[in-house]
């Protein structure tokens, strides 16, 4: 039986493919758009049965011929048993609304419709961007007010799912990812994680740059719920296992740590993890600022009014659905990430 992973050459998608491989899954069909060809590097150490371009995949869904295509490959593939849909444009600064809605909203509608026709579980990527400038982060329409078209594209599909919940033929699970960081995000450019950029800045320049105070927040004290991709994968696989075992719960779930931490904490964790790797002692925030290794820059005009200065996932629904494992803190997750990046550079 086959599992489909869309956005498979991307950050979270490729981590899911690798984790499925680690569990012995080899009958994987990966879907992506490799116009940016270097993203293939995320799949080099993975075992997959077939690659489909996004447009080819959509055509197979719309003609209801995906299973027939797979059986015709002669690779021993069975029918699809689940879809992990991670494919999306995640650039919060993208201004082409037509592209964003087609790529994020309409694409996910097509995947949902096909999965429902075939009574197959669907796990998909939503986003904490649906909350916009809210200070409350519960899966509740009353606190959802996206600040950009990316957030709106995710919000609109979540709304569509809510309208269909009572008539579903198979589980549909949406995860509102908060600020995810970890290996295999090198292709994301400006949309890569804070930890990724801090690592690169410090290695290249010997300093990390953070925003000055804005909107009532002191310098570097803006807080986000930073979640390791390791935890994101664990949650996805937990819900996938439940769905395949007939215990799947449909719905929309926050996927963060439930703990907001500051940008200062991320910077300190990155610098101290690098120092530790060189046998040097850890230093406090104050010591790093005094040494010029953490510096504060003006808050960008382009981000004013479009920036989430605070996020913290309410995990009540996730916990009630049966996910009980603890989440890595910034200090734990960043240390693991820095170690992995240093090993990859060797």
- Residues marked active site are found at 150, 188
Q: What is the DSSP letter of 15?
A: H
Question: Look-up: residue for tokens 């740059």?
Answer: 209
For residue 281, the SS3 value is: coil
SS (H, E, C) 230-253: HHHHHHHHHHHHHHHCCCCCCEEE
DSSP 166-227: GG-SS-EEEEEE-EEE-SS-GGGGGGS-HHHHHHHHHHHHS-EEEEPPBTTBPTT--EE-EE
Q: C-alpha angle with apex 143: 140 to 146, nearest 5 degrees?
A: 110
> 151: Cβ–Cβ under 8 A, 6 or more apart, which residues?
92, 127, 129, 130, 131, 132
Q: Which helix (H) or strand (E) holds 124?
A: strand 122-127
Nearest one of 275, 296, 279 to 203, comparing CA atoms: 275
């Amino acid at each position: 039986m086959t599992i489909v992973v869309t956005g498979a050459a991307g950050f979270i998608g490729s981590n899911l493919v690798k984790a499925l491989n680690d569990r012995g899954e080899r009958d994987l069909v990966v879907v992506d758009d490799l116009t940016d060809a270097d993203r293939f590097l995320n799949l080099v150490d993975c075992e997959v049965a077939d690659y489909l371009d996004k447009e080819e995949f959509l055509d197979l869904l719309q003609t209801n011929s995906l299973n027939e295509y797979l059986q015709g490959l002669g690779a021993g593939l069975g029918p699809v048993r689940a879809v992990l849909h991670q494919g999306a444009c995640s650039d919060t600064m993208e201004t082409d609304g037509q592209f964003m809605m087609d790529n994020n909203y309409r694409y996910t509608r097509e995947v949902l419709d096909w999965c429902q026709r075939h009574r197959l579980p669907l796990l998909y990527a939503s986003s904490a961007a649906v909350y916009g400038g809210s200070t409350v982060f519960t899966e509740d329409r009353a606190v959802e007010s996206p600040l950009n078209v990316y957030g709106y594209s995710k919000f609109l599909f979540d709304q569509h799912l809510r309208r269909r919940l009572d008539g579903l033929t198979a589980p549909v699970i949406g995860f509102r990812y908060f600020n995810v960081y970890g290996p295999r995000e090198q292709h994301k450019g400006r949309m890569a994680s804070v930890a990724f950029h801090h690592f690169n800045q410090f290695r290249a320049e010997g300093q990390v740059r953070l925003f000055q105070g804005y909107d009532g927040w002191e310098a570097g004290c803006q807080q986000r719920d930073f979640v390791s991709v390791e935890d994101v994968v664990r949650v996805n696989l937990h819900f996938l296992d439940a769905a395949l075992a007939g215990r799947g719960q449909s719905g929309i779930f926050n996927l963060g740590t439930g703990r907001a931490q500051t940008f200062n904490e991320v910077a300190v964790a990155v610098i101290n993890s690098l120092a530790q790797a060189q046998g040097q002692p850890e230093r406090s925030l104050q010591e790093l600022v005094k040494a010029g290794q953490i510096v504060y820059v003006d808050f960008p005009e382009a981000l004013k009014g479009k920036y989430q200065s605070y996020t913290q996932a309410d995990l009540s629904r996730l916990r009630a659905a049966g996910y009980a494992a603890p989440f890595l803190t910034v200090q734990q997750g960043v240390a693991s990430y820095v170690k992995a990046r240093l090993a990859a550079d060797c």
